[in-house]
Structure 1
Amino acid sequence: MIVRSVFAAAAFLIAALMGSCMFVIARYRIPEQFTVFSMIVSNYGLYLIPLGLAGAGLALLARFRAGRVMRWGGVLIALVCAAGVVAAGFPVVASWQDADRAGATLSVKDYLKGGSNNGKPDERRSVAYNTIDGKDLLLDVKLPPGTPEQPRAAVVWVHGGGFAEGDRGEGPKWHQWLNDRGYAVFAVDYRLSPPPRWNEAPADVKCAVGWVKQHAAAYLVDPERVMVIGGSAGGNLALMAAYAGEQVPPSCPVPDTSVKAVAAFYPAVDLAAMYSDPALVSKVDTLARDYTGGTPGQVPDRYAAASPITYVRQGLPPTLLIHGTRDHVVPYTQSVELVERLKAVGVQYQLQPIPYGEHAFDAGWGDWGTQISRHVLGEFMIKKFPAR
């Protein structure tokens, strides 16, 4: 009796999870409290298949020698779990189809052993690239091993966090991945909001780019081959650094802040368009107000100045955008809108959608979206920004 009750309770909980995940797979616009289930589908979707099968099995076992209510309840729970298994297969199939279109090879082994892509700053590698109001702005220098025969290409990596949190320790496996391909990585901090940093954060990133160029010889870096990459708020700032030109001066006296290419993961490119979007989590509005100092109606000029789409023009560097199609923090339509503008003015671009991908899908290093992203970013850099 006790064992049967435990089986039934476990099966019920699994069925509730599978039912919630079915709901977010079937719909894009979901209540905010269901966003966590969208993240589960995005980052751990493959695990739902064996979990659902286990739930169905437990439900059927709980029916053994049970009363009528338990028997019929067990059937219902098993059916929900089975339907969840079928639904969980849709994101898996879509990911493999997109990988095939991109020429990427997905690995179940990599998915299972990938682990987390979260990290912390490495104080042993930290260097101050600017000092403002007595506080150092730091970057971590991560170099490939050995001495290159020719100066290396460099990547300035910009962390996300809604302009209000996060640090240069974000994405350590991306940094190592770049090092393994011969790129020097400079992971940067910048001033966070509040107070409003709409003009200061992009200025800090441009300062960091200029600092890398000024100190290129010390790190065996080619100052003419610098790229900037970031995700979310970092994607916004990476695009700002690549696009804004003289309209956004750096926060330190550096003569050259130009870059050869830019890649942005799920970037916020039009802050005003995102504000009050009913499909997004409510925190987005708060972050936008903290960053700009008001609403789009109150400070429209700041929203425009802090949006990379404002600066689209001819002559911008090649741009790669990677964005989850189920992003409930920065909608996928943001990247679509940007590439339409880039196409209109003749800028080289590439947009890679991640099917069923939520915001920050690459926090899981083995996730299907991350595997696709590694291939796409690698091919983009070989063509547009080779390490040698």
Structure 2
Amino acid sequence: MVIRWIIALVGVVLAVALGAVTFVIVSATIPESLVPLSFAVSNYGLYLIPAGLLGMGIGLILAQRRNAVVLRILGILVGMVCVVATVAACVPLVASWREAGRQGTQLSIMNYLTGGTNTGDPVETLSTPYASVDGTDLLMDVKMPTDLVEGRRAAVIWVHGGGFTGGDRGEGPEWHKWLNDRGYAVFAIEYRLTPPPRWEQAPGDIRCAVGRIKERATEFGIDPARVMLAGGSAGGNLALMGAYADERVAPSCPVGDTSVAAVTAFSPPTDLSSGWYDTGSPDYSHRTLTDYLGGAPDVHPDRYAAASPRTYVRPGLPPTLLMHGTRDHVVPFDQSAALTTALESASVPVTLVPLPYADHGFDVTWGDWATQISRDTFDDFLARYFPAP
């Protein structure tokens, strides 16, 4: 009997957890405390199905006639919750596979199960300063392909995320390797973090890095006319700022040409004022934006406009790829959708890829559906607008 009660306890805990997950899946708006569950659905959703099947099995065991009435009732309830949760867990799965079909992506269950994580640390042996600003060396990790090519390589400058307050140039190592494997040189850069407010300095550091890398093109064996920016979250904002900004955003070091040929952004905040009001994680968003800009939008509206890529939209900007989760509770999908509309109105080539049920930081797991779709669409974008030699 003790074993049956232990099984019942496990079943109840599993049912509660899966019930919460079901609520997250079916509800577009969720409490901030449940955002981590949304991340779990985004990055590990496939594993919810066997969890639901396990719960159904526990329900069947408890519902047997020889058990006490209480156990039978618990078994029926656990089983019902787990049936609903299993069906709900299939919804993001089906949505992802349908989007993959629209994008022409072949999803792999094996890659999902074995892809691992996309996290790492700076590689000190590859690090070199790209500038010294206010007595601080700003570093970049230079990651070169191992194959031999004739001529100069195209280069991707990778800007890390971290809410403008954290993160480092070690972020996204699988993306760096993925780009290296396709023949691109990768420069994973750092920039000055908040506090104090860095709404002017951080975009200036990005433009500085672009200019300095171009100046050292011969040293690195790259083509200075074939440089692009990429990044996610805050890094996506800064990559777009580096690609779009005009004379109102001064480089933080003396450089010449800071133009880029293309830009890619994952889950970027494109209008920081809207990001203050329209977010599923207000505590986090308000804290990071206050640190970065020195206050709320009603206090510093000029700063919020100056630090928003949408402010700089105009004809002639480089081709842009935006990849954004439709269930992003930190930076809502509408941020990329609105920027896409503005770019289309300015006749700027832009591709927006909606990633069903993906939340912020989806590419932390290298094999999940959203990351697989992103890799394929990124590959297509590079082939069309920024091919490697």
Match of 1:376 in 2: 377
Asked whether the 8 Å contact 1:178–1:185 carries over to 2, the reply is yes
Match of 1:280 in 2: 281
**CA–CA separation in structure 1 for the residues paired with 2:142 and 2:13:** 46
Mapped pair 1:2 → 2:7? no
**CA–CA separation in structure 2 for the residues paired with 1:245 and 1:147:** 36
User: Once the 2 structures are TM-superposed, how far is the Cα of residue 278 of structure 1 from its aligned partner?
Assistant: 5.5
Mapped pair 1:253 → 2:244? no
Structure 1 residues 224-259: Cα deviation after superposition (integer angstroms, max 9, x where no partner)? 100000000000000000000222111111101100
Q: Secondary structure at the match of 2:273?
A: helix
Match of 1:263 in 2: 264
Asked whether the 8 Å contact 2:279–2:331 carries over to 1, the reply is no
Asked whether the 8 Å contact 1:314–1:347 carries over to 2, the reply is yes
Structure 1 residues 17-36: Cα deviation after superposition (integer angstroms, max 9, x where no partner)? 11111101111111111111
**CA–CA separation in structure 2 for the residues paired with 1:26 and 1:147:** 50
How is 1:337-376 mapped onto 2 (pairs within 5 angstroms)? 337-376=338-377
Mapped pair 1:17 → 2:17? yes
Unaligned runs of 5+ in 2: none
- What TM-score results when the alignment is normalised by the length of structure 2? 0.98
Structure 1 residues 250-303: Cα deviation after superposition (integer angstroms, max 9, x where no partner)? 111110110000000000000001113263342101110110011111111000
Asked whether the 8 Å contact 1:159–1:234 carries over to 2, the reply is yes
How is 1:106-145 mapped onto 2 (pairs within 5 angstroms)? 106-145=107-146
Match of 1:324 in 2: 325
Higher mean C-alpha displacement, 64-73 vs 39-48 = 64-73
**CA–CA separation in structure 2 for the residues paired with 1:251 and 1:161:** 21
Aligned length: 388
Match of 2:219 in 1: 218
User: Once the 2 structures are TM-superposed, how far is the Cα of residue 63 of structure 1 from its aligned partner?
Assistant: 3.8
Q: Secondary structure at the match of 1:256?
A: coil
Higher mean C-alpha displacement, 129-138 vs 105-114 = 129-138
How is 1:167-178 mapped onto 2 (pairs within 5 angstroms)? 167-178=168-179
**CA–CA separation in structure 2 for the residues paired with 1:139 and 1:168:** 7
Match of 2:62 in 1: 62
Q: Secondary structure at the match of 1:323?
A: strand
**CA–CA separation in structure 2 for the residues paired with 1:106 and 1:11:** 32
Q: Secondary structure at the match of 1:283?
A: helix
Asked whether the 8 Å contact 2:118–2:363 carries over to 1, the reply is yes
Percent of aligned pairs sharing the same letter: 55
Residues 1:220 and 1:135: Cα distance change in structure 2 (over 3 Å): same
1:45 maps to amino acid: G
Unaligned runs of 5+ in 1: none
**CA–CA separation in structure 2 for the residues paired with 1:96 and 1:278:** 27
Asked whether the 8 Å contact 1:330–1:359 carries over to 2, the reply is yes
Structure 1 residues 43-75: Cα deviation after superposition (integer angstroms, max 9, x where no partner)? 000000001101111232234432101101111
C-alpha root-mean-square deviation of aligned residues, in Å?
1.0
Asked whether the 8 Å contact 2:62–2:74 carries over to 1, the reply is no
User: Once the 2 structures are TM-superposed, how far is the Cα of residue 146 of structure 1 from its aligned partner?
Assistant: 3.3
Asked whether the 8 Å contact 1:7–1:59 carries over to 2, the reply is no
